[in-house]
Amino acid sequence: MLEYFDTNPTHPRRAVQVWLILIACAYNRQTLTYSDLASRIGYGDVRSIGKVLDYVYNYCKFYNLPPLTGLVVNKNTGLPGKGMGNYSFADQEQIFTFDWYNIIPPNPEELKELNS
């Protein structure tokens, strides 16, 4: 059955959507702003995107992966938010060069369990 992310837009489901967007950005060596990401997933309020990013951040941290959420940056500073850990441009290079397409994406249930 065909499903859409906005049919049941829980934070874990949106986190899977964000994962897919961010690995494409990593492959293309791109960053995107919080507002760009919120727009891509249909969020009207950019402040709520942080809750979704927490799921991705915690997944990366649990599995010792580069901090994929470091590709989402503040439009004024060009840096990730403070809640994304200690981030450096060396981390960004790791994110860009990591083989994200070799990992089966997390599922909403797994993300929810890791964030409980």
Can you give the pLDDT at residue 48?
84
Note the pLDDT of residue 83. Answer: 62
The pLDDT score that the predictor gives to residue 80 is 84
User: What was the pLDDT predicted at 106?
Assistant: 97
3-state SS class at 30: coil
Please state, in angstroms and rounded to a whole number, the distance separating the CA atoms of residues 56 and 68.
Answer: 7
**Burial label, 55 (beta-carbon count in 10 A; 0-12, 13-18, 19+):** buried
pLDDT digits (tens), the chain, 116 positions: 899 998 988 999 999 999 999 999 999 999 999 999 999 999 877 888 999 999 999 999 999 999 999 999 989 988 887 766 667 778 889 999 999 999 999 999 999 999 88
Quick check: 37 and 24 in contact, CB under 8 A? no
Q: Is the pTM of this model over 0.75?
A: yes
pLDDT of residue 91: 81
Tokens 């981030």 correspond to what residue?
A: 87
